[in-house]
Structure 1
Amino acid sequence: MAPTRLPLLCLPYSGASATVYARWRRSLPDWVTVKPIELPGRGERSDEPLWTDPHGLAAFLAAEIAPTLSAPYALFGHSLGALLAFELAHALMERGVPAPLLLFASGTEAPAVRDDTASRQPRSDEALKAELRDLQGTPEEVLADADLMRLTLPVLRADFLMCGHYAYRPRPPLPCRLHVLGGRQDRASRVALEAWGREGTSCTIDIFEGGHFFIHDQRASVLQAIQSSLEREMQHAPALAGLVPT
Structure 2
Amino acid sequence: MTASTVTLLCLPCAGASATMYLRWRRALPAWLRVVPVELPGRGERYAQAYAADLDTLAAQLCDRHESDLQGRFVLFGHSMGALLAYRMASRLRRQGRRLPELLIASASPAPALRDPARFDGLDHDDALIADMRKQGGTPEAVFADDELLRLALDTLAADYRLCKSHRYAAQPPLPVPIAVFAGREDDITPLQVSGWGAETSRGHTEAWFDGGHFFIRHQELAVLAVLRDLLAGLDCKANHHATALPA
TM-score normalised by structure 1 residue count: 0.91
Query: Structure 1 runs of 4+ off > 3 angstroms?
Result: none
Q: Which runs of 5+ in 1 are unaligned?
A: 238-246
* Cα distance change, pair 193–138 in 1 and its aligned pair in 2 (3 A): same
* Contact 2:76-2:85 within 8 A present in 1 as well: yes
Q: Give the partner amino acid of 1:127.
A: A
CA distance in 2, matches of 1:93, 1:192: 24
Moved more, 138-147 or 86-95: 138-147
Moved more, 112-121 or 167-176: 112-121
> Corresponding residue for 2:234?
233
Q: What whole-Å deviation, never above 9, does each CA across 1:167-188 have from its counterpart, x for those lacking one?
A: 1121111111100000000011
Residue 130 of structure 1 deviates from its aligned partner by 0.6
> Corresponding residue for 2:211?
210
Q: Please show how residues 158-237 of structure 1 align to structure 2 within 5 Å.
A: 158-200=158-200, 201-236=202-237
Residue 99 of structure 1 deviates from its aligned partner by 1.4
Q: What whole-Å deviation, never above 9, does each CA across 1:7-56 have from its counterpart, x for those lacking one?
A: 00000001000010000011111110000110011100000000131111
> Corresponding residue for 1:110?
110
Residue 98 of structure 1 deviates from its aligned partner by 1.6
Residue 63 of structure 1 deviates from its aligned partner by 1.9
CA distance in 2, matches of 1:94, 1:143: 42
Q: Which runs of 5+ in 2 are unaligned?
A: 239-247
Q: Please show how residues 7-156 of structure 1 align to structure 2 within 5 Å.
A: 7-119=7-119, 123-156=123-156
CA distance in 2, matches of 1:15, 1:82: 14
How many residues get paired? 237
Q: Give the partner amino acid of 1:11.
A: L
CA distance in 2, matches of 1:118, 1:215: 21
SS in 1 for 2:35: strand
Two-structure CA RMSD over aligned residues (Å)? 1.8
TM-score normalised by structure 2 residue count: 0.91
CA distance in 2, matches of 1:219, 1:236: 27
How much identity, in percent, do the aligned residues show?
Answer: 43
Q: Give the partner amino acid of 1:134.
A: K
Residue 121 of structure 1 deviates from its aligned partner by 6.0
* Cα distance change, pair 141–67 in 1 and its aligned pair in 2 (3 A): closer
* Contact 1:66-1:95 within 8 A present in 2 as well: no
SS in 2 for 1:222: helix
Higher relative contact order (CA 8 A, sep 6+): 1
